[in-house]
Amino acid sequence: MMMYKIFRADEWAELQQNGTTLGAPIDLSDGYIHFSTAEHVAETARRHFAGEEDLMLLALDSKAMGPALRWEPSRGGALFPHLFRALALSEVIWAKPLPLADGAHVFPEGVV
């Protein structure tokens, strides 16, 4: 199953430079890297990245993450993938800009 991670430009640049990352500040605070499914990624963008520009959307294969990926319930009960280890750049299938248009993020075709 495809899953997604939204990174700010500096977070994406750090992953490209270092080859691995422990995630964004919220990931570091929580102790795992948050991902979204196609079903939830637009809501993630709306809730946590409202009005932000210079975002990148990364696609990853959940099956390739191994046992460090756990599916855990959110406050609403939906299951979200959480990675309990560093994310490697080599695990990113693709990364595409997530532009802002008329106050909403525009997702690549086929994502949402």
Instruction: Give residue 66's region: left, alpha or beta (phi > 0; psi -120 to 50).
Output: left
The token pair at 75 is 């406050």
Domains and CATH numbers, the chain: 2-99 (3.20.170.20)
Mean pLDDT of all residues belonging to the chain: 95
Separation between Cα atoms, residue 87 and residue 54, nearest integer Å:
21
Per-residue pLDDT, averaged over 13-42, amounts to: 96
Instruction: Give residue 58's region: left, alpha or beta (phi > 0; psi -120 to 50).
Output: beta
pLDDT at 64 over 90: yes
What pLDDT is stored for residue 74 in this prediction? Answer: 83
Q: By the 8 A CB rule, do 2 and 69 touch? A: no
pTM: 0.94
**Matching residue, tokens 């991670």:** 5
